Structure 1
């Protein structure tokens, strides 16, 4: 009889342990964007011939030191997918708990595609490359993967506005519906300004980071 009364105790501690594991996993989604941007900024300032006003961060995967950016793509993808899994557990049963993490996973996969299929040379980078960009098969896949990935990211923000609002974070929810407009505006302006594209993409990465942290560490009943 005593055994029957004490047996359920491990099950009672399972929920807190699960929440703790989810929070550790979701850290991947929090740090992915800042790490990727920091790596890109450092490389952009030290690589010969790279100009943020003319070249996209993706092009840093080209040339002798390109393996650093390729590794950054691969690591960022892994962190985003881990973060998506953690966020799914954190939002389990609540608004956005299915589609939000799934879309973040798609975004993470786009970084892996970018690592496998590098961007094309152009605009003088790598050093010695022609000004004009000739689209190759791998460059086309790279561009398509990035487009799909960032469209998924924009959709994520609309989906995650619901759990933000349910936690009483209404200002955050409104911002989460405005940020994707700015991200898409940066993409639309990319033909005229590469810097606008970089700014839009960077804004999306940073907003995903802060929103993920907010959802993972703010109680659902707030």
Structure 2
């Protein structure tokens, strides 16, 4: 084997290892988000997941936990998107999936930077009902959240199309379920549906889970 061939093989092996490591970040994003958010939802005084969005956890004396959750998970998704770019390069979805997952990650980071206003009895002592007026950082938080939701939905649908074209029905169905769960969950919440914050939380976690499981499949295939 020539020196050039050996160098090329080593370079390719290093690139695959780096891509696998980055894909682990995308895999880890969902369990981290879910454990940190739901643990707080179950233990913090005054929080009711059927009335309060998980973003509200960024308020109060322990709000830094959810802010850190946003920042960490968003960063993991951004790094994971670079692994997706390597794993999907030259294949269906190879252009848009990494871009959309990266955009979702950036949206989550910004949602952590810009905290929504206290509302509807949380944190404890906050008057019930919506704030009388929203602050600029609350508007910025909602905009960042909208970017994250739209990007995750689109990423899931692009992945569903990819796996559909590859005749992989299981992962096509997984991606389709993730995108649809978030689309419907967010739509229900925006329409003021009963327990809309719960349907939104379930939708976000389902979409993120689809991305994480698909990232793990791609990691194992490298």
TM-score (norm 2): 0.91
2:218 to 194, 215, 218: 215
Q: Which of 13, 16, 30 is the equivalent residue of 2:13?
A: 16
Distance 1:188 1:158 in 2: 16
Equivalent-residue separation in structure 1 for 2:108 and 2:68 (angstroms): 10
Task: Work out whether residues 85 and 101 of structure 1, in 8 Å CA contact, stay in contact via their aligned partners in 2.
Answer: yes
Verify the 8 A CA contact 1:114 1:145 in the aligned structure 2.
yes
Which stretch of the first structure deviates more once superposed, 195-204 or 124-133? 195-204
Partners of 2:38 and 2:26 in 1: how far apart?
A: 19
Q: Number of residue pairs matched?
A: 216
Aligned to 2:148: 149
Shift in Å at residue 182 of structure 1?
2.1
* In 2: Cα distance, 1:107 partner to 1:10 partner: 36
Aligned match of 2:130 = 133
Closer/same/farther in 2, CA of residues 16 and 5 from structure 1, 3 Å limit: closer
Gaps of 5+ in 1: none
Q: 1:130 aligns to what SS in structure 2?
A: coil
Q: Write the deviation string for residues 25-53 of structure 1: whole angstroms up to 9, x where unpaired.
A: 11111110111111011111221111111
1:116 to 113, 117, 131: 113
- 1:136, distance to aligned residue in structure 2 (A): 1.8
CA RMSD, Structure 1 to Structure 2 (Å): 1.7
Once the two structures are TM-superposed, the CA of residue 167 in structure 1 deviates from its matched residue by: 5.0
* Aligned twin of 1:184: 183
Gaps of 5+ in 2: none
**What is the rounded CA distance, in whole Å, between the counterparts of 1:62 and 1:167 in structure 2?**
45
Give the TM-score taking structure 1 as reference length.
0.91
**Aligned counterpart for 1:42 among listed residues 39, 42, 45:** 39
Distance 1:218 1:163 in 2: 16
Aligned-pair CA distance for 1:187: 0.9
Alpha-carbon distance, 1:166 to partner:
5.4
Cα deviations by residue, 1:176-195 (Å, 9 ceiling, x for unpaired): 23432221111121122221
